[in-house]
Structure 1
Amino acid sequence: VLADETTDPQLAALDLLIEAEHGPDSAALLVTHSEAVAEKASQFADEYLDKLPQWRREFCQAGLDAYGGIILTSSLEESINFVNDYAPEHLEVLVDDPLRLVGEIKNAGEILLGKYTPSSAATYAIGVNAVLPTGGFARSYSAVSVYDFLKRSTIAYLTAQGFDRVKETSQTLAHYEEFPAHGMAITERDQLL
């Protein structure tokens, strides 16, 4: 949960518990630069945790104890940097103007914007993909979709002018990677054509 000083700490606490409920090995983190929001959200999380049935409370508590917490940063920018480095599976953006920040979020499996978009609504009602990259893999993977089950081919075509533009770079990289046949195919082709 990404929060700023305008975030309702009760909502932040509720949404932390959504994450904790995913499993005892799931991270439930609040990232904020607001000490007041952090402190109040922690208090509310304890109160809401007590309202859960015992079997679920113990389940959530185990996850919170192992992988939960509140990350206090010095600025919203630092919070966003943390999010992008951490690459969460689910990210709730509970800030004053979440639409303004969406372009700054580079690494998250799912980005849920604003106080009316909790992860539970995403999971059960609004139709976003729930097969998401975990363990920081949102840095390099997207949610699983139909595209993952389609065969695709990459097609390229260079004109003589295009070849002239890329031949030097291709030779340099072939040499760097110690692939002399790659480099020779460029050099000889340049002589033959």
Structure 2
Amino acid sequence: MWSAVDVETWISRRTSRLDEVRGTVQEIIEKVRTGGDGALFELSEKFDKVHLDSIAVDEDALEAAYEQVDAKVTECLVEAEVRISRFHELQMPRELWLSEVEPGITLGVKTTPLSRIGAYIPGGRAAYPSTALMCTIPARIAGVPEICCCSPPPIQPLTLVALDIAGVHEIYQCGGAQAIAAMALGTETIEPVDKIVGPGNVYVTAAKMMLRDYAEIDFPAGPSEIAIIADESAVPEYVAADILAQAEHDPHASCILITSSSAVADRVGIEIKKQAEHAKRKEIITQALKNSGFIVVGDLSEAVAISNTIAPEHLALQVVDPLAVLGSIHNAGSIFVGKYTPVACGDYASGTNHVLPTAGFARQYSGLDVHHFCKTSSVQYLTKEGLESIGDIVETLAEAEGFFAHAQSVSVRLKSSQNLQRKNSGC
């Protein structure tokens, strides 16, 4: 159940099954494209075994959800919302900045929120209120005026309460690849969005990637994963607990321990066996542990090199001086520093976002934040003096490329300005 593994084997185990499902997903997309709401009703009965009378969730259903959720849980969701909002507010870029880089030439950037986004919240048998908060709060902070959410029916009361706390009331009972198609293409009930965010299974991920011509996405995300860099100071009980916490997500989840101590690797294995024996999600954990294992390295620099190659979704640093190691980490979705920083805190209440790239995509993508919900426009403001200072450069390069009208757009202004100067001077 817990054994040594080489990097290549571990990476291959977490490779998604996207190619295997593309055909099925394409059929679903075409069905939604041509059938609209009717296709959503049909597919909900087929895949979710739920008969729907309405796709949209109304305000009465939101209010009723509170009666089905324990008051303590609601209170904790409110507290989590505050902390998640606080962190994402710190990320907000300036709406507009301008800087005079030389006399007469002022440059800058204007940041604008997207007009409409869609968030996919996994669900069905389980509730993921934390994901509802993570997907929608940064969009709200960014200033997106229209936020719609899709989640498989029946949407759990916990998810509805979380969305209400986040301030989202445009909610649709729709799951799987068909939900992504509905948000990207639009139906009679669901208006198309500019961008789709949120985690999902392989069908959801494939649909997101296949529909990028219609709606941008956050990043590909597959089964959850964790890498832990540990030295002889690591507490095996804590390391094992973090591994099991990740393993209980999904049978396809994967966990890897990279350690400079073979003794720690052995003791972690003993702890995993002990803690897994009494785990409530033991069956899922057992399957996920087949995708997991450990690597013993010579030193921490080798451990860091392996971690950067893996580019894990979650990376935990359980070493003597974790802050010294932090600077060498280049590829990771979210980093958990020190033995008192379990990944679960980032999942729920520290404030950072738990919607993260998996399967090595942390090499190219960042975890979800406010910047995913904004776009920028460069700004330039030239005075006559500024145009005169770079006019010759622009004209020369434009003519060299054969774009003579480009050059003319500069020269006509400069000539006009020179003529006006002569007129004003009486020449």
TM-score, with normalisation over the residues of structure 1? 0.79
Equivalent in 224, 248, 253 of residue 21 of structure 1: 248
Which deviates the most, 19-28 or 35-44? 19-28
Bigger Rg, structure 1 or 2: 2
SS in 1 for 2:293: strand
**1:31 paired residue number:** 258
The 1-side partners of 2:237 and 2:356 are apart by 26
Query: Which of the residues 98, 118, 128 maps onto 2:352?
Result: 128
SS of alignment partner, residue 153 of structure 1:
strand
Report the AA paired with residue 69 of structure 1.
Answer: G
- How far apart, CA to CA, are the structure 2 residues paired with 1:120 and 1:103? 23
1:64 aligns with 2:289: yes
In structure 1, the residue matched to 2:318 is: 94
Q: Compute the displacement of 1:122 (Å).
A: 1.6
Q: Distance in 2 between matches of 1:45 and 1:6?
A: 18
For residues 60 and 6 of structure 1, what CA distance do their matches in structure 2 show?
26
The number of aligned residues is 171
Report the CA distance between 1:20 and its aligned residue: 0.9
Aligned counterparts of 2:379 and 2:332: Cα–Cα separation in 1 = 30
**1:89-144 Cα shifts (integer Å, max 9, x gaps):** 01111011111111111100000001110011221221111110111110011011
- State the alpha-carbon separation in 2 of the partners of residues 156 and 94 from structure 1: 48
**Cα distance in 1, alignment partners of residues 260 and 378 from structure 2:** 44
Indicate whether 1:153 and 2:369 are aligned: no
Partner amino acid, structure 2, of 1:61 = T
- Which stretch of structure 1 is more off in the superposition, 19-28 or 105-114? 19-28
- Secondary structure of the 1:88 match is coil
Residue 71 of structure 1 and its aligned partner are, at CA, apart by 1.4
Q: Does 1:185 align with 2:401?
A: yes
User: SS of the counterpart of 1:43?
Assistant: helix
**1:46-93 deviation digits (Å, cap 9, x = unpaired):** 10100212xx1110110111x111111121111100110000001111
Q: Structure 2: how far apart are the matches of 1:154 and 1:61?
A: 52
Aligned-pair Cα RMSD in Å: 2.7
Distance 1:156 1:138, change over 3 A: farther
Give the corresponding residue for 1:11. Answer: 238
Structure-1 residue corresponding to 2:60: none
Write the letter of the residue equivalent to 2:315. Answer: L
**Which is richer in strand?**
2
Alignment partners' CA distance in 2, 1:25 and 1:34: 27
Q: What is the distance in 2 between the residues matched to 1:48 and 1:104? A: 32
- Structure 1 unaligned regions, length at least 5: 168-181
Q: Secondary structure at the match of 2:242?
A: helix
Q: Taking structure 2 as the reference length, what is the TM-score of the superposition?
A: 0.37
Deviation at 1:156, TM superposition (A): 7.9
Q: 1 CA distance for matches of 2:293 and 2:376?
A: 42
Show structure 2 runs of 5+ residues with no match: 1-227, 382-388, 412-427
Distance 2:317 2:351 in 1: 18
Residue 107 (1) aligns with residue 334 (2): no
Moved over 4 A (4+): 154-157
Q: Which residue of 1 aligns with 2:21?
A: none
What residue in structure 2 maps to residue 143 of structure 1?
Answer: 367
Aligned mates of 1:21, 1:52 — CA distance in 2:
9
